[in-house]
A and B are shown apart, each in its own frame.
Chain A
């Protein structure tokens, strides 16, 4: 009898618990919808029309559709002057969240500060300004620079039998990712005197400029061991120069990028050898989640910047090559 009573009490307690959980869950869901539906988000990318930003926009739009807020995209089309104007206009429209893709560490810092001062939560995506804001979602450039440099030391350094000569092709010397990756890489190389950086010239993110730089550097240093390109798209120009010079088996071409299927195709074509992918598709989803949270008022307890680091996927040519590491639009 006692057993039956205790069993009934137990079942009732379980029922109450499950019911409470369901109510809480439903309540929380309803609150999220009610709180953020109808809110306004503006995304100002460096440009649309590349897989990186298109991939982000697709995932962010999915979050906006689920929760009922809007995302407006203001395409600066690689024009930094236009970007500052677009951002100024976006701030004047007083959105709830502003998503900014910084071309350099300096360019938009004052406007980011102004937006935050006016109560607009600013999410910086992948490329960080030197002005902190509410949140950052993106790659850890220090880690990428360091890991690629360490890999280069393993492949070209002491005991490898190679020359140790490395060419670096940044996008722009003042771009956040190039600045941080170069600092991290040079820090690693400092401890390995056998590594010699023979060239460090920016390509302005253009494949043709990267190709011309590489063709010239290869002429002067035919024993070049590795090329470290700061973006897979422009590094493909460098990879093509290596391939055209007939030294694809001798020169390792490293790159980093959003990891769409074009990167995998380049690895298959032996244009790139190793790509540190920050998985733009995953970043888009992280950014969407962060926007949801910012719209619900999320903030770090100490007022610092909320930060989400993108997990890395390393795409390597050879036996371990896995095309599944790349994503497709």
Chain B
């Protein structure tokens, strides 16, 4: 059964990769300025926060969890940091304070799921609502948006180049991918995460530290969310709570993870799957923007390509009683 599952995951990866390659070829031929080094930089820079968020979500999903508070934590983290630096607090103080606050949210999520045993979806949905409400009404006093000054050194650092030719968002994206890869592949927590996703009860009965690992998973997700939030707000010069309320980013993150070949029931997948999933979405978005498609048309085409990928996967790998698991594609 395990080999069938692995085979299926790889097939979806291959289909998504093939669709991405076809799109790259089509855009290279039809769109001026697509196949350039400069455009590759733009694609990387524009998808940095999506990759970072997907790393957090992927680790959670592999452990058979789901973090619906990811975007709320991202915006809450960016707000905390922005409020502090707007009040002329040094970034060296603001960053650890913000990290501590977001770790608390991750701890709360992990504790609710591991110790109170509330389903992950409900616990993180509740914490997302709590965090958003708290920030909007108690801290921002009803404001929807915080504007960041582009002259602030922390903002300049986060949106500028860390090395000649390498922007901070791209460097942080690469660092997050490496940390995620290390966590999943080489740490004890990583092995437990796969075991939890594969068979949670078996992992628990064999004495693996499933509760502590659950907390590690949700704290890691909160930290990736904070990292993505800092990059997005510095780049656009604003912290925007509509990112939480309109919900599209959260669905995009889940989509990236699942399309890349990580099933919602967990237990398999890795950094490679995240890269494949993001590549499809990022290429599609970039090509359509260059083609001057309206945002509504972009949504239609994005949906269409995703349906094609899923149907192709279904055709290549028909479901049977063993593989037709709830939550799987």
Residues of A whose CB lies within 8 Å of any CB of B are 47-50, 54, 77-79, 173, 198-213, 215-217, 219-221, 233, 236-237, 239-241, 243-244, 262, 265-266, 269, 271
B292 and A200 within 8 A (CB): yes
A47, closest chain B residue (CB): B144
Supposing A47-B144, A78-B246, A216-B42 touch, asked if A236 and B238 sit within 8 A by C-beta, the answer is yes
A262, closest chain B residue (CB): B147
Q: Is B323 an interface residue (CB 8 A)?
A: no
Q: Is B286 an interface residue (CB 8 A)?
A: yes
A240 and B159 within 8 A (CB): yes
Contacts of B42 on A, CB cut-off 8 Å?
A: 215-216, 219
Cα of A211 to Cα of B233 in the assembled complex, Å: 11
Contacts of A266 on B, CB cut-off 8 Å?
A: 147
Contacts of A50 on B, CB cut-off 8 Å?
A: 143-145
A203, closest chain B residue (CB): B295
A215 and B45 within 8 A (CB): yes
Contacts of A202 on B, CB cut-off 8 Å?
A: 294-296
Q: Known pairs A202-B296, A217-B290; list 9 more (Cβ under 8 Å).
A: A49-B144, A200-B294, A203-B295, A205-B242, A207-B236, A209-B295, A219-B33, A236-B237, A271-B150
B137, closest chain A residue (CB): A49
Contacts of B236 on A, CB cut-off 8 Å?
A: 207-208, 210-211, 236-237, 240
Contact flags B17-54 to A (C-beta < 8 A → 1, else 0): 00000000000000111001011011001100000000
Which residues of B from 226 to 255 have beta carbons under 8 Å from A?
232, 235-238, 240-243, 245-246
B150 and A269 within 8 A (CB): yes
CB distance from A90 to the nearest CB of B (A): 20
Out of A49, A79, A201, name the residue touching B294 (CB < 8 Å): A201
Cα of A78 to Cα of B245 in the assembled complex, Å: 8
Contacts of A47 on B, CB cut-off 8 Å?
A: 144
Cα of A244 to Cα of B42 in the assembled complex, Å: 11
Cα of A200 to Cα of B39 in the assembled complex, Å: 19
B144 and A211 within 8 A (CB): no
B140 and A49 within 8 A (CB): yes
Q: Is B191 an interface residue (CB 8 A)?
A: no
Cα of A243 to Cα of B285 in the assembled complex, Å: 22
Contacts of A198 on B, CB cut-off 8 Å?
A: 292
Supposing A79-B245, A206-B242 touch, asked if A49 and B150 sit within 8 A by C-beta, the answer is no
Cα of A198 to Cα of B33 in the assembled complex, Å: 13
CB distance from A257 to the nearest CB of B (A): 12
Q: Is B318 an interface residue (CB 8 A)?
A: no
CB distance from A9 to the nearest CB of B (A): 63
Main secondary structure of the interface of A (DSSP, over half): helix
Supposing A201-B294, A220-B290 touch, asked if A215 and B238 sit within 8 A by C-beta, the answer is no
B246 and A208 within 8 A (CB): no
Cα of A7 to Cα of B145 in the assembled complex, Å: 68
Q: Is B151 an interface residue (CB 8 A)?
A: yes
Supposing A79-B245, A211-B236, A212-B289 touch, asked if A220 and B46 sit within 8 A by C-beta, the answer is no
Identify the 10 closest CB pairs spanning chains A and B, nearest first. Answer: A220-B33, A49-B144, A237-B236, A207-B236, A207-B238, A208-B236, A240-B237, A216-B289, A211-B236, A49-B142
Cα of A216 to Cα of B160 in the assembled complex, Å: 17
Contacts of B149 on A, CB cut-off 8 Å?
A: 265, 269
CB distance from B286 to the nearest CB of A (A): 6
Q: Is B302 an interface residue (CB 8 A)?
A: no
Out of A77, A210, A233, name the residue touching B145 (CB < 8 Å): A233
Contacts of B159 on A, CB cut-off 8 Å?
A: 240, 244
**Best-surrounded residue of B46, B136, B150 (most CB of chain A within 10 A):** B150
CB distance from B279 to the nearest CB of A (A): 16
CB distance from A11 to the nearest CB of B (A): 59
Out of B38, B242, B245, B292, name the residue touching A219 (CB < 8 Å): B38
CB distance from A126 to the nearest CB of B (A): 17
Q: Is B293 an interface residue (CB 8 A)?
A: yes
Contacts of A200 on B, CB cut-off 8 Å?
A: 292, 294
Out of A173, A199, A220, A237, name the residue touching B237 (CB < 8 Å): A237
> Could you list some 27 contacts between A and B, CB below 8 A?
A48-B142, A49-B145, A49-B241, A54-B142, A173-B294, A202-B294, A204-B246, A207-B237, A207-B238, A211-B237, A212-B285, A216-B286, A216-B290, A217-B289, A217-B290, A219-B33, A219-B36, A219-B38, A219-B39, A220-B39, A233-B238, A237-B238, A240-B159, A243-B150, A265-B147, A265-B149, A269-B151
Contacts of A199 on B, CB cut-off 8 Å?
A: 289, 292
Cα of A240 to Cα of B296 in the assembled complex, Å: 24
Contact flags B110-148 to A (C-beta < 8 A → 1, else 0): 000000000000000000000000001000101111010
A211 and B246 within 8 A (CB): no
B292 and A201 within 8 A (CB): yes
CB distance from B269 to the nearest CB of A (A): 27
Cα of A274 to Cα of B295 in the assembled complex, Å: 26
CB distance from A324 to the nearest CB of B (A): 20
CB distance from B168 to the nearest CB of A (A): 11
Cα of A48 to Cα of B32 in the assembled complex, Å: 42
CB distance from A193 to the nearest CB of B (A): 18
CB distance from B148 to the nearest CB of A (A): 9
